Structure 1
Amino acid sequence: MVRGVVGAFVVAAASLVTSVVPASSWVASLPIASDLRHSLPGRMIGLAFMVFGLGLLGWAWLSVGRDVLAGVQHRLLPLVAAWCAPLLFTPPLFSRDAWSYAAQGALVSHGLDPYALGPGALSGRVIEAVDPMWMNTPAPYGPLPLAYGGLAAQVTLDPYLLMLAHRALALLGIVLIAWAIPKLAVACRVDPTIATWLVVANPMLITHGLGAAHNDVLMLGLACSAFAIALTGQWGTAAVIAGTAAAVKAPGGLVVIAIAAVMSPLAGRALRLASLAIAGVVSVLTLVTIGELTGVGSGWLGALDVPGLVRSPFSIANLLGMGTSGVLEWLGADTAAQEALQVIRLLGILTALTLIAVLGLRSHIHQAARAVGVALLAVILLGPTAHDWYFLWCLPFLAVARPGRRLTTAVVGVSLILTIAAPLNSSLRGAVIPILVTTALVLVVAGALLGHLRTLLPAPQAATGGREPRIVGTRLVSSIRERRNGEIRSATSTSRS
């Protein structure tokens, strides 16, 4: 508890120096922070403390995980609340997207179309901290957060207060995830305490989700809630919530794969296709209805390619496309080089859609969580772009998909790396010295934390028959061994009788 809270407070203090804030905000005029912000040594001090605080938070999470996996009972939700509290009122961490949310909401409140105009159509303090890269691009988000932002902008045009309003949506998303994860874990025969630790207490969710105020967290909370409600037999309500998740960001609608699996458990492909069609139609109708009722419309579908302006290294399609373009440029085929990236991105999208279709038709109820997790992971890795916080999309579904030792270790490792490396974001573009220094700090801290992964989970034992133990119900391989020994003793006693 204490180590995580101290880490969160250090991160909050460092954000006053490292985060981009509007020039008119109270943060910009803080005596010490403003002096540090406007000098290279000061910014480096802020980045060093940021990485240190993230390391403390990750260390605390690993320590709790070691206890939880060993069978120690922890009250995880109060722990998560304590870790989240210091980040509630800080500037956005690692990303300037929350300032874009504020400006897009102001567009809606002024009666302007956020799917045709960018924040640059406005003037004043509401656009002071918007990333210049997104100043003239339309919003790629669904109607729900834009309508909400429009309502908030009718109350105030202070960008900091508008950012806090969007952070409240992220907090709501975390609450929904915390409500849904134990229910999904029990239904999927996974220890709910372990699943809660792996997802809700995850420092990546706390920092990237709440700290950066990304609306992806609300999308994820609604998607998890839709799956949990579908498991109670209310698939119609679940499909409506799935459409609401898609009204935040389109990938949230992929939870209909799990809803269809619940509607027709262990059924043939024909019935599964019918279930997908019904759940999909209900979700799409919900999405369209939300767009019409809010007055925002569905123009965001034409702006879904806006995030693709960022050539992210997390996307396999991007890496292959940029590599192919570089080779073609070296060979002198400039025209082909320009088209190669778009062609490979298109192939990546088609591959992802094909995989999603296969998962939707072949996944029965016991594989529903894994199917959604894999589908979202395919969208991330094969889509036109991917940011580090996008990996939150698949986290809850993979965590309840009966993960073995290797998958759990991979999830923990990726979460730690993406948390510690978060300061290496777009706000450091072109700043060579901060990038090099921060990279060195990240490597040191991440390396120290990853060294603990070997002792986090028990290694496979002979009692498991050479198979990896599942983190389900029983928490230790030794408990499996004791149970089997008890069965053997019972059988021996019976035979003697």
Structure 2
Amino acid sequence: MAAASLVTSVVPESSWVASLPIASDLRATLPGRMTGLTLMVAGLGLMVWAWLSVGREVLAGVRHRLVPLAAWWSAPLLLMPPLFSRDAWSYAAQGALVAKGYDPYSVGPGVLSGHVTEAVDPMWMSTPAPYGPLPLAYGGLAARLTLDPYVLMLAHRALAVLGILLIAWAVPRLATACRVDPTVATWLVVANPVLITHGLGAAHNDVLMLGLACSAFALALTGHWGTAAVLAGAAAAVKAPGGLVVIAIAAVMSPLAGRARLRLASLAISGSVAVLTLVTIGELVGVGSGWLSALDVPGLVRSPLSIANLIGLGASGVLAWLGEDGAAQQALQIVRLLGILTALGLIAVLGLLSSIHNAARAVGIALLAVVLLGPTAHDWYFLWGVPFLAVARPGRKLTTALIGVSIILTVAAPLNSSLRGAVIPILMTTSLVLVVVGTLLGRLRTMQPQPQPKVVATAG
């Protein structure tokens, strides 16, 4: 995968990758790019196969040292170009905006000149940043030291590493508190190939958001509600959905379900602390709360992973076929609005009615509702709910679903926007993905817990 990224990833023309002798030759031709894509899909398949092999032993009671194992799997990607997405180059450019004194919530990277915008997706060149103040402030500090886009990308990957470390710290503690085998939960989350490839490999800031949210829940379970609420605000300061962990914090503060008045008070207290933290971070770093007006920017991508998008696009197509062009243009926006309102209603119910015993599941469902019913969804958004569902006493069906979705989203990762309009690579990569996914899903059917004596396995 690391070797293939030198061919398949979009990189700045000024970077060392663009001038590598063999890689640059492969990138210049269609057969060369297809060689890189084939190698990438093969590498993804091998990673998932290894993950499933370890998982079969974990489910059978073998106590693997999973954090060192995940670290070994991740190490080759640390210095490589970002996988499957150009978002990390946007992070670098948005940090440069802050360093240059621009308001990243008013202008896009297109106002900049120089190498820092070379690999930014043209779709996002004129759009404001949809992220919270925390990664922008960090990016601004890094950009004051250098404007080399590759170095800035690596700086943002360091945030992803921090997020994974926080997840690795929190998940076993959450699992133990929720009476779930921490080894199984760690395998499902920390060693998950989606986290390694999309989270670390693509350097998405969603990982930091998730690490802060998981840590907030873990601290709340130890009685540190105030600190937990502050961390929830910090998670929201990365990306807004991270603040939904206040549902779990409130459940810990008033553990019994059915006492709406106490739960409402708990939600108000923890939510107020989180919002105050979010506002304070925005003011301290000098970007304020202007990011709230840019939250609709990701909605420019009409992702088929969003149920609201699927229904809206279908309704628009039918109305356009019937000749109702005006209604067709409005249909998608109306359906998206209904999806958001439905998600908010579900979140309100979960916040008021969940107890401490199902708080983890409530947060996981709330985050998945935002993904599936929101205006857009990317494959790495699936990560949002995984840690919370993995520690929520998942039965066989939910565990199988988490594994199956992880397989599909990992192997299908190359079918992203970087192949936009490239018909032959899309068709050939799709064929490869279908073959590999079909083979790996066949292995999934055999993954059932087997009673075996517990032994200790090494990371190697």
Q: TM-score range by the shorter chain?
A: over 0.9
Distance in 2, Cα, partners of 1:78 & 1:367: 30
Deviates more, 1:266-275 or 1:202-211: 266-275
**Aligned equivalent of 2:60:** 70
**Aligned equivalent of 2:160:** 170
Distance in 1, Cα, partners of 2:238 & 2:345: 24
* 1:454 Cα deviation after fit: 1.1
Q: How many residues align?
A: 452
Distance in 1, Cα, partners of 2:182 & 2:444: 21
List runs of 5+ in structure 1 lacking aligned partners.
1-10, 459-475, 480-497
Residues 76-225 of structure 1: pairs in structure 2 closer than 5 A: 76-225=66-215
Distance in 1, Cα, partners of 2:114 & 2:205: 24
The one-letter amino acid paired with 2:394 is P
Distance in 2, Cα, partners of 1:54 & 1:399: 22
The one-letter amino acid paired with 2:352 is L
Distance in 2, Cα, partners of 1:205 & 1:49: 20
* 1:457 Cα deviation after fit: 1.7
Q: In the alignment, is the contact (CA less than 8 A) between 2:90 and 2:124 conserved in 1?
A: yes
Q: 2:31 aligns with which of 29, 35, 41?
A: 41
**Aligned equivalent of 2:9:** 19
Distance in 2, Cα, partners of 1:86 & 1:200: 17
Distance in 1, Cα, partners of 2:452 & 2:415: 41
Q: In the alignment, is the contact (CA less than 8 A) between 2:61 and 2:452 conserved in 1?
A: no
Find out whether 1:242 has 2:232 as its counterpart. Answer: yes
**Aligned equivalent of 2:456:** none
The one-letter amino acid paired with 2:263 is R
Find out whether 1:446 has 2:430 as its counterpart. Answer: no
Q: 1:314 aligns with which of 305, 309, 316?
A: 305
Deviations 1:232-258 (A, max 9, x none): 000000000000000000000000000
Distance in 1, Cα, partners of 2:309 & 2:133: 28
Cα 1:346–1:477 change in 2 (3 A) is farther
The one-letter amino acid paired with 2:422 is A
Deviations 1:383-415 (A, max 9, x none): 000000000000000000000111000000000
* 1:299 Cα deviation after fit: 0.5
Q: Indicate the SS of the match to 1:451.
A: helix
Distance in 2, Cα, partners of 1:281 & 1:75: 39
**Aligned equivalent of 2:292:** 301
**Largest Rg, 1 or 2:** 1
The one-letter amino acid paired with 2:277 is T
* 1:478 Cα deviation after fit: 8.6
Q: Indicate the SS of the match to 1:266.
A: coil
Deviations 1:259-299 (A, max 9, x none): 00000111511100100011000000000000000111110
The one-letter amino acid paired with 1:358 is V
* 1:105 Cα deviation after fit: 0.1
* 1:63 Cα deviation after fit: 0.4
The one-letter amino acid paired with 2:69 is L
List runs of 5+ in structure 2 lacking aligned partners.
454-460
Residues 456-495 of structure 1: pairs in structure 2 closer than 5 A: 456-458=447-449, 476=450
Q: 2:256 aligns with which of 266, 274, 277?
A: 266
Q: Indicate the SS of the match to 1:394.
A: helix
Distance in 1, Cα, partners of 2:210 & 2:122: 28
The one-letter amino acid paired with 1:442 is V
Distance in 2, Cα, partners of 1:222 & 1:245: 5
Distance in 1, Cα, partners of 2:113 & 2:404: 43
**Aligned equivalent of 1:408:** 399
The one-letter amino acid paired with 1:148 is Y
Distance in 1, Cα, partners of 2:24 & 2:138: 32
What TM-score do the two structures reach when normalised by structure 2?
Answer: 0.98
RMSD over equivalenced CA pairs, Å: 0.9
Find out whether 1:437 has 2:428 as its counterpart. Answer: yes
**Aligned equivalent of 1:231:** 221
The higher relative CO (CA closer than 8 Å, separation ≥ 6) is in 2
* 1:436 Cα deviation after fit: 0.3
Q: 1:348 aligns with which of 314, 331, 339?
A: 339
* 1:437 Cα deviation after fit: 0.3
Q: In the alignment, is the contact (CA less than 8 A) between 2:107 and 2:126 conserved in 1?
A: yes
Q: Indicate the SS of the match to 1:111.
A: coil
Q: 2:46 aligns with which of 30, 33, 56?
A: 56
Find out whether 1:368 has 2:362 as its counterpart. Answer: no
Q: In the alignment, is the contact (CA less than 8 A) between 2:134 and 2:281 conserved in 1?
A: yes
Distance in 1, Cα, partners of 2:226 & 2:205: 24
Distance in 2, Cα, partners of 1:393 & 1:52: 26
Distance in 2, Cα, partners of 1:181 & 1:23: 40
The one-letter amino acid paired with 1:275 is S
The one-letter amino acid paired with 1:187 is A
Q: Indicate the SS of the match to 1:292.
A: helix
Deviations 1:212-233 (A, max 9, x none): 0000000000000000000000
**Aligned equivalent of 1:381:** 372
The one-letter amino acid paired with 1:41 is P
Q: 1:333 aligns with which of 281, 299, 324?
A: 324
Q: Indicate the SS of the match to 1:15.
A: helix
Deviations 1:88-134 (A, max 9, x none): 00000000000000000000000100000000010110000000000
The one-letter amino acid paired with 2:321 is W
Distance in 2, Cα, partners of 1:385 & 1:141: 15
The one-letter amino acid paired with 2:382 is F
Distance in 2, Cα, partners of 1:240 & 1:477: 43
* 1:360 Cα deviation after fit: 0.2
Deviations 1:462-482 (A, max 9, x none): xxxxxxxxxxxxxx5799xxx
The one-letter amino acid paired with 2:345 is T
* 1:332 Cα deviation after fit: 0.6
